[in-house]
Amino acid sequence: MANETNTTQDAVSSQVATDTIRKYLTFLSDGLYFGIDTSYVTEIIINHKITFLPMVPYYVQGIINLRGQIIPIVDMRLRMGKTACESEDGTNCIIVLNIDTIMIGILVDAVRQVLDIDTSKISPPTANNHEELVCGMMTLADGTTMLVLDQAALSQS
């Protein structure tokens, strides 16, 4: 399938890896800049046909057939209680995650890059954190703030 890119093409970094350095995949959803540990990421697929599934919460967009595997798709925007991203041309971008053997695809606006993140520098979310999907925050070198996606909360249905 030509419409797949592989996450292993990491942003090149020759830095000596210490125990706290992890690779994070960053993506955009509704203007927010998220990051997730790449060890949970299986692959990124674009423009895949999503089959509608009745009787599930509104944020579950449906299921996809990924080479014989059935994977549920969660729209990140809807999951956060925001409005769905309307793409006119029917394009989509899905990050397939494997969270403790639970396979989920998340529908995001765009995938950015893979960064080396020193996990010891991730600060906890603010006390009045209303965003259940965020388990940490971190300011990056270019001044933008990355929200660390709480994959455990995401996989709880």
Partner 1 sequence: MDNGMDNMLDMYLFETNTLLEQLDGILLNAEKEKLFTVDDVNEIFRIMHTIKGSSAMMEFSSLMKIAHKIEDLFFLIRENGVDTFDTVCSEAEHHELFDLVFNSIDFMRSEIERVENAEPLTDNIDSYLEKINAFIDKITVHFNPDAAPAASQETTTTEAAAPSQDLPDNSAFFLHVFFDEGCGMENLRAFMLVNALQDACEDFTYYPKEVESNPDTAHEIIDKGFYIGFQNKEAAETAINILKNQSNIQTYEMIENPKAKAPQTKVEEPVVPEHTEVAAKPVQKAESAPVHTSKKSDSSTHSMQSKQSLISVNLSKLDSLMAIVGEIVITESMVTSCPELVGVKLDSFTKSARQLRKLTDELQDIVMSIRMVPISGVFQKMNRIVRDMGQKLDKDVELVIIGEETEVDKTIVDGISDPIMHIVRNSMDHGIEENVEDRLKYGKSPKAKITLTAEHTGGEVIISIADDGQGIDPQAVLNKAMRNGLLVKPESEYTQKEILNLVMLPGFSTNEEVTEYSGRGVGMDVVRKNVEKVGGVVSITSEVGQGTCTTLKIPLTMAIVDGMEIAVGDSIFTIPINNIRQSFKATSADIIRNVDNSEVIKRMDEFYPVIRLHELYNLETNVTNIEDGIVIWVESGDKSYCLFVDELLGEQQVVVKPLPTYLNGFNIKNSGIAGCTILGDGNISIILDILNLYTNASNLN
Nearer to partner 1, 15 or 156 (CB): 156
Q: State the nearest-atom distance from the C-beta of 122 to partner 1, in Å.
A: 26
Q: Give the whole-angstrom CA distance, residue 98 versus residue 43.
A: 9
Q: State the nearest-atom distance from the C-beta of 97 to partner 1, in Å.
A: 10
Q: Which residue has the tokens 């529908």?
A: 107
**β partners of residue 114:** 25
Q: State the nearest-atom distance from the C-beta of 156 to partner 1, in Å.
A: 7
Nearer to partner 1, 17 or 53 (CB): 53
What amino acid occupies position 47? N
Q: Which residues are at the interface with partner 1 (CB under 8 A)? A: 49, 51-57, 60, 63-65, 68, 70-72, 101-104, 155-157
70-80: string of b/e by CB count within 10 Å (b at 16+)?
A: ebbbbbbbbbe
Nearer to partner 1, 52 or 127 (CB): 52
